[in-house]
Structure 1
Amino acid sequence: MINGNALEVEDLGDRNAPVIIAHHGAPGLSTRAEPKASWGALADRYRVIVFDARGSGQSGSAPPYTRGQWVADVDALREWAGAERIVMAGGSYGGFICLEYALRHPSRVRALLLRDTAATDGFRARARRRAEQMGRGVDLAELERMFTDRVIDDEDLRRLWLNIQPLYTHDDDPVTARAEPVTMRFHAATHRAVFGPDMPVYDVRDRLKEIACPTLITVGRGDWITPVEAGEELAAGIRDSKLVIFERSGHSPQIEERESWLATVSAFLHQIEGKQDQ
């Protein structure tokens, strides 16, 4: 139990190694399978902790579903792991939690690993225009409803996700894009909480200058929803940051350009380890 809620956790790697806590994206949609596939390869040198966030996957569904609560759950996991400081990793909405964690608990963060994320929800209108320009057969009205609190139930959320899935890859592959999401478990209540009161007020741009830890920002050139401009905004605001753009990727360079992406992350971690050991 973490903060009164059961969390489904996987603890990978040597228990005595430096700790990475990786947060998945898409609350109410995604699960620990996403960060495990992304960051789990680092378990040869790190203790990598992945989990289903409150209200997602196989974890308990005790509200509230807020950034503040998810940050508190991350810090409780850090305490459970016995780590004074952690590397915090996350993509998409998981990156939002990384940024919030670094702002609320700056002394606890050795480094941030951010993938395809943003400091504000202000890219939504541009994302809708990009979706229209991509011409991948997406129902645009349903796309807009997807990112609101008007999702009816879990099955409705599943249908809405299948509608927008073709937007997430760099290349247009209709077969892959329309594949059923095997690892996803749909929680409409969590999704509604995020895209109702939470997302419209999400904006940490003015506080990025407070983040002092080394930060790696990776983004796919073809990312439709957290685009290169979002990564550039993060890099401009976080003083000790490095931005790497993956030219043949959409929202998931950790999949579409996996070897290059992993090499980039590993090199960054090796570099900061050298600096922190001096």
Structure 2
Amino acid sequence: MAESKAATTSTVQMDDGINLRAKVFGEDLKSTKPLLVALHGAPGLSTLAEPEAAFTFLSDIFRVLVFDARGSGGSDLTGPYTHDRWIKDIEILRKWAGAEKFILAGGSYGGFIALDYAVLHGDKLLGLILRDTWANGVLGMMTALGNILTDDRLHVDVARQIRLWSGNLRDDKDFEEAIAEIIPIYAPPEEHLLKTSAKDNDESKAFEGMDERAAFNSATQNAAFSVNVPRFDVRQQLKNIKAPTLVIVGRHDYVTPVEFSQEIANGIPRSRLEIFEHSGHNPASDETEKYRQVILDFLRTEVI
């Protein structure tokens, strides 16, 4: 994990009174640097720690805004937990940060939100960065579950995994146990671990955004996967996304496999696909040096 630079931490109130925890790296809100907003994945579990680790290396060039989505981390655990509401929260944060246009980044579930935002508010985007995500919820969800149930590294409770991926968890403890038994699938196979990043790939860190602040909120996960994901399908809208787009994926990602990123890159006109040959679900930790170079090259050639 990259060492975080100094940040301004704020509590930002949304229009419905809900408070979100946000951090801004790269000077204060009055800075003239362009804004990059990075979304975390795993609703109800992941926190701003994930995008903080992945994007704060850019804070010399950008103001980097990361936040806990409502229902996750240090933000209020109050719904609705819908894509429309999460997108509206991004819009409020954009205005709070004083940016007319910005770069949006999202990984895994954060990529779903980023894609939906790009479809609805593409005129606000200077650029789009998508990491290990998919464009169709039902197909993606069923593929992930199928890979989990057939992975020799895992020994799972099948019924519990079905509850997890269909959004029917019994409680927060059920959520915690379901995640604990699938952590190894998020990392690349052992023979592909790079020595420079192996410290970030032990089982306690393989899951994105899991740190000492992680807390399990099954209500957020249940809403996301019982209501939002089955309705999520932007495949026919990809051609309408005009912002320059970088699509990143790990070759050994069995949750959001390479073919889904290829589909996204093929659909978005101004897109570039980068496959990380030694990565699982999170190239930012699996191949940190290459990941940073790819991000910088994209931003310098397509955005800045």
Kept after mapping to 2: 8 A contact 1:143/1:163: no
- Matched to 1:7, the amino acid is L
- Secondary structure at 2:166 match in 1: coil
**Contact kept? 2:154, 2:185, Cα under 8 Å:** no
- Structure 2: 5+ residue runs without aligned partners? 1-12, 194-200
Secondary structure of the equivalent of 1:105? Answer: helix
Q: Distance in 2 between matches of 1:25 and 1:80?
A: 22
Q: Provide the aligned length of Structure 1 versus Structure 2.
A: 273
Correspondent of 1:98 among 105, 114, 130? 114
Q: Following the alignment from structure 1 to structure 2, what is the Cα–Cα distance between the partners of residues 273 and 225?
A: 29
What does 1:1-278 correspond to in 2, within 5 Å? 1-3=13-15, 4-14=17-27, 15-121=31-137, 122-139=139-156, 141=158, 142-172=160-190, 176-177=202-203, 181-273=211-303
C-alpha contact 1:162 1:178 (8 A) present in aligned 2: no
Q: In structure 1, give the amino acid aligned to 2:142.
A: A
Higher helix share goes to which structure? 1
Corresponding residue number in structure 1 for 2:7:
none
Q: Which amino acid aligns with 2:263?
A: E
In structure 2, what residue type is equivalent to 1:163? Answer: E
In 2, Cα distance between the equivalents of 1:125 and 1:5? 33
Q: Distance in 2 between matches of 1:138 and 1:89?
A: 33
* Alignment check: 8 A CA contact 1:220 1:251 kept: yes
Distance (Å, rounded) in 1 between the aligned partners of 2:107 and 2:37? 12
Amino acid at match of 2:66: V
Query: Following TM superposition, by how much is the alpha carbon of 1:19 offset from its aligned partner in structure 2, in angstroms?
Result: 0.1
**Cα gap change, 1:124/1:273 in structure 2, threshold over 3 Å: closer, same or farther?**
closer
SS in 1 for 2:19: coil
Question: Does the CA contact (< 8 Å) of 2:141 and 2:165 recur in 1?
Answer: no
TM-score by length of 2: 0.86
Q: Distance in 1 between matches of 2:143 and 2:157?
A: 13
TM-score (norm 1): 0.94
Question: Which structure 1 residue ranges, 5 or more long, are not aligned?
Answer: none
C-alpha RMSD of the superposition: 1.6
Report how far residue 196 of structure 1 moved: 1.1
Aligned-residue sequence identity (percent) comes to 40
Indicate conservation of the 8 Å contact 1:132/1:140, yes or no. Answer: no
CA distance in 1, matches of 2:104, 2:293: 18
For 1:141-184, what per-residue CA distance to the aligned partner results, in whole angstroms no more than 9, with x for missing partners?
Answer: 132221122212222211111111110000249x9225685342
1:273 Cα offset (Å): 3.3
Seen in structure 2, the aligned counterparts of structure 1 residues 165 and 19 have a Cα distance that, compared at 3 Å, is: same
C-alpha separation in 1, matches of 2:279 and 2:150: 17
Q: Which runs of 4+ in 1 moved over 4 A?
A: 178-181
CA change 1:46–1:181 in 2 (3 A) is: closer
What CA distance in whole angstroms lies between the structure 2 residues aligned with 1:53 and 1:59? 6
